[in-house]
């Protein structure tokens, strides 16, 4: 029985310093983990929607991970990726909240057939350019 108590105490001490010393971002996870999440969810970075005679391109997913992104650049219809989507400021107390009134760009209906997006992370690295095709419903 004493062996089990000693083992449990040693395991607890071994785990505790690692949890405390791990680098953390405002979202409570290491920056590399945020990059991995964004890479795994890249199909959701943007979304298209036709609404009341306009074409909307939503950046809601990226807004919800803004604490792990420095910049978002995009280009329409295979054009240069030279436009910046301005992310809201990171709120460490509510890192995933999206408060932006319009988390989308508005375009005339049928004007965007695709959008290409690239992220720049706080460590200066860049994501691959991801291209999203507009598929009307």
Radius of gyration of the chain (CA): 20
> Looking at the domain assignment, is residue 93 inside a domain?
yes
Q: Count Cα neighbours of 61 within 13 Å in the Cβ-side half-sphere.
A: 17
Residue 13 lies in a domain: no
CATH number, residue 129: 2.60.40
Residue keyed to tokens 């720049």: 120
Higher pLDDT, 4 or 42: 42
DSSP 8-state class, residue 101: S
pLDDT digits (tens, 9 = 90+) for 48-77: 999 999 999 999 999 999 999 999 999 999
110 falls within a domain: yes
For 78-125, write each residue's pLDDT tens digit: 999 999 999 999 888 888 899 999 999 999 998 999 999 999 999 999
Does the residue 15 lie in any domain?
A: no
Supply the DSSP symbol for 137: -
Q: Would you say residue 92 lies in a domain? A: yes
Residue 123's closest CA among 82, 70, 65, 66? 70
Q: What is the DSSP letter of 126?
A: B
């Amino acid at each position: 029985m004493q062996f089990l108590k000693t083992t449990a105490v040693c395991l607890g001490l071994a785990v505790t310093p690692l949890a405390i010393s791990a680098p953390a971002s405002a979202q409570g996870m290491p920056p590399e983990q945020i990059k991995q999440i964004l890479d795994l969810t890249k199909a959701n970075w943007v979304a298209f929607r036709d609404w009341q005679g306009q074409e909307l391109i939503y950046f809601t997913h990226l807004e919800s991970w803004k604490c792990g992104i420095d910049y978002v650049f995009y280009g329409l219809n295979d054009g240069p990726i030279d436009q910046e989507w301005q992310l809201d400021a990171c709120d460490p107390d509510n890192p995933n909240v999206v408060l932006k009134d319009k988390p989308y760009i508005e375009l005339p209906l049928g004007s965007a057939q695709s959008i290409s997006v690239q992220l720049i992370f706080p460590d200066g690295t860049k994501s691959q350019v991801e291209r999203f095709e507009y598929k009307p419903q």
